[in-house]
Copies of this chain bind each other. A is one copy, B any other.
Amino acid sequence: MTPAKPRKNPGDLQLAILDHIWQHREATVAAVHRALWDERQLAPTTIATMLTKMEKRGLVTHRTEGRTYIYRALVERTEVCFDMVTDVVDRAFEGRAADMVSMLLREGEFDPDELDSLRSLLAERLAQRDTGDTGAAADDPEGES
């Protein structure tokens, strides 16, 4: 059969690199290398190679300053995180986000204050449901007419 749909989600190292770039808006190979040194002792070329692959993949881009590449993300953190979550929801819960939240709520670890904020959030969703408000047009009070 066909070569299986291209998995969009970045791997571990890619995520770690993106994480640094997201935090600093821009980063050089050397900077990423230094930043990741405590976690994993990688050769600088490993970072460079991976950044090249990530650029080919559309995750980052770069500009040149002298002969140094300065990388910048082309994807946003929330976007990538959401994609990863969506992927698991689709693959492990048949697309039912509620099922995943259920599992998390049942088996996950939560601080008391985290539970509180989740309650607020859920209350918001429930309020939207009860008023028929989707929240999508919240900044457009006079939508129709």
Interface residues of A (CB under 8 A from B): 1, 4, 12-13, 15, 40-43, 46, 78, 80-82, 84-85, 87-89, 91-93, 96-98, 100-112, 114-115, 117-119, 121-122, 125-126, 129
Total identical chains: 2
Please tell me if the beta carbons of A81 and B103 are within 8 angstroms of each other in the complex. yes
Q: A92-B80, A122-B119 are in contact. Are A85 and B100 (CB under 8 A)?
A: yes
Interface pair B98/A118, CB less than 8 Å apart:
yes
List, sorted by A's number, 27 A–B pairs whose CB atoms are closer than 8 Å. A1-B41, A1-B43, A1-B46, A4-B13, A12-B91, A81-B93, A84-B92, A85-B92, A85-B100, A85-B103, A85-B104, A89-B108, A96-B114, A97-B104, A97-B109, A98-B114, A98-B118, A100-B104, A101-B101, A101-B105, A102-B117, A102-B118, A105-B125, A106-B121, A112-B129, A115-B122, A119-B126
